[in-house]
Amino acid sequence: MKYNFGAGPCILPQEVFKQASEAVLNFNNTGLSILEISHRAPEFEAVVDETLSLIKELLNVPEGYSVLLLQGGASLQFTMVPMNLLGEGQTAAYLDSGAWSSKAIKEAKLFGNVNVVASSKDANYTFVPKDFEIPADAAYFHCTSNNTIFGTELFNFPKTSVPIVSDMSSDILSREINVADFGIIYAGAQKNMGPAGLTLVIVKDELMGKSGRKLPSMLDYKVHADNKSLYNTPAVFSIYASLLNLRWLKAKGGVAAIEKENIEKSNALYAEIDRNPLFKGPCNVEDRSRMNVCFVMENPELEKPFLKFAQERGMVGIKGHRSVGGFRASIYNALPLSSVQALIDTMKEFAENNG
């Protein structure tokens, strides 16, 4: 038995992997693979339609927003956001709460002025800054809602008249959000939605074309919105597997139901980290991520033996990111509570043997 705590790409329920693999051989009894049917065929258009409508339903996307299924990963959005929203001479406000935020900042600087309103870099990103002001004339405010590498999450978004752009790559569909509070939400699909290769973008229609810049077609939100995300060949398999996963999520009771599970899973794991004398959590308690649980050992010499002990018990992917060290258990939507319990039992057993 393997328990996959890896940070990605693509952690999906077993039943979704099974249905997706069946469609590779025979999609909906067409006798053709999902990989070979035309992306312009009515069967595939129906896949796109259902995917878009399930995203709108599960995230409660209001009128006035377009849902786009793009490629290039969240990393391309670091570029597309300023290209589409940041006009000549304008300034965008950015919150620097981790490695992905700083990559977004680097790209935005290519297109205009960037005002980093706050940063937790000096504290190795162990907290999400809360004390900052967003200038009223900023073109937009950018934040990362979940810091995948450092294990912190932004639970309260600022109240501002400036459009909020959020990179939700690692917590999209894991908790309820109010889409109307945002100008743009984007996410690489590969944590809670589907396989890598697909990027979800939810963009407020009135923001399209806002920069006044001449844009290459592939980098223009409006082109993709006008073509229902079929301007060029889309990531057909990633879209189809995402659709299967969205159906799974809906059948489970949707985002509110999975959020409850995610709270239960993360509370249980953090409780063990706080209780067990061998472990500690490096992040500010109120900012602790429900998706990526980072922890270290009081005695760093025990880290290697614990990793080996956990691997022997089927734990996969718990080594912390190379820039942080320690451990990181990614507990995305698809990871059941029983896997979290297995990790907790492993930590308990290790402490009994090494206490």
Residue 214 DSSP class: -
Q: Does 289 bind ligand PLP (CB under 6 A)?
A: no
167 flagged as catalytic: yes
Tokens 């690489």 map to which residue?
A: 188
Site for ligand PLP in 84-123 (CB under 6 A): 100
> Which residue in 51, 119, 120, 169 binds ligand PLP (CB under 6 A)?
169
* Residue 100 annotated in ligand binding: yes
The kind and range of the H/E element at 50 are helix 42-59
Q: Does 75 bind ligand PLP (CB under 6 A)?
A: yes
Kindly compute the dihedral angle of the four CA atoms of residues 19, 6, 267, 126, in this order, to the nearest 10 degrees.
-140
Residue 256, CA distances (Å) to 178, 201, 295, 333 in order: 12, 21, 27, 12
Question: What is the Cα–Cα distance from 288 to 281, expressed in whole angstroms?
Answer: 9
100 flagged as catalytic: yes
Q: Does 33 bind ligand PLP (CB under 6 A)?
A: no
Q: Does 174 bind ligand PLP (CB under 6 A)?
A: no
Q: Does 238 bind ligand PLP (CB under 6 A)?
A: no
Q: Does 74 bind ligand PLP (CB under 6 A)?
A: yes
Question: What is the Cα–Cα distance from 176 to 163, expressed in whole angstroms?
Answer: 19
Neighbouring-strand partners of residue 94:
116, 142
Site stretch for ligand PLP (CB under 6 A), options 20-28, 71-79, 152-160, 231-239: 71-79
Beta strand 65-70 with 292-297 is unpaired
Q: Is the peptide bond before 9 cis (omega within 30 degrees of 0)?
A: yes
Q: How far is the CB of 169 from ligand PLP (least distance, A)?
A: 4
> Which residue in 129, 151, 183, 188 binds ligand PLP (CB under 6 A)?
188
Q: Catalytic residue numbers?
A: 100, 167, 191
User: Which residues of the shown chain bind ligand PLP in the complex (CB under 6 A)?
Assistant: 73-75, 100, 144, 148, 167, 169-170, 188
Q: Could you tell me which residues are annotated as the binding site? A: 40, 74-75, 100, 148, 167, 190, 232-233
